[in-house]
Amino acid sequence: MGIKVEFNLDLALREYGTGGRLETECLPKDLKEGEEYEFLKTGQRNFWLEGACPLRTTGGNQKLSRPIAAVQIVNYTHSLKDGKPHTSGIYRVIQIFDINDPQVHFEGYTIL
């Protein structure tokens, strides 16, 4: 048996107020550019720290929205909660996007 580690190209959080989820597992009520927010994800995940990545909403099972913002992961830590690995950290909002705008906002890790 190996060590299960997931490499995330984006940060996907639940919609604000999703029932049965902690506040840090969801988007904040009012997302603001320049602000920092905490996040919590189940599993042992690795994020890119040297630039921006897309922030998306998820309904679970890898069903992701288009990017709603560009964020930078400031830091993250792995820990055990109830005997299961979790990843928690802080992200900073760089730019917020209009989800209905058809413009492409990322090319790889470059914000367009």
Round to whole Å and give the CA distance between 102 and 105: 9
Round to whole Å and give the CA distance between 18 and 8: 22
Q: What is the pLDDT of residues 80-105, one digit of tens each?
A: 999 999 999 999 999 999 878 888 87
Query: For residue 15, which amino acid is it?
Result: E
Residue 98: what pLDDT? 86
Q: What is the pLDDT of residues 34-67, one digit of tens each?
A: 999 999 999 999 999 999 999 999 988 888 888 9
Residue 89: what pLDDT? 98
Strand segments (E) across the chain: 6-8, 11-13, 36-42, 45-47, 52-57, 69-81, 84-96, 106-107, 110-111
Model confidence at 110, pLDDT cuts 50, 70, 90, reads: low
Rounded (5°) CA angle 58-63-64: 55
Which residues are registered as beta bridge partners of 71? 53, 93
Contact 95, 34 (CB under 8 A): no
Residue 27: what pLDDT? 96
Residue 100: what pLDDT? 83
Q: Residue 111: is its pLDDT beyond 70?
A: no
DSSP β-ladder status, 69-81 and 52-57: antiparallel
pTM metric for this prediction: 0.89
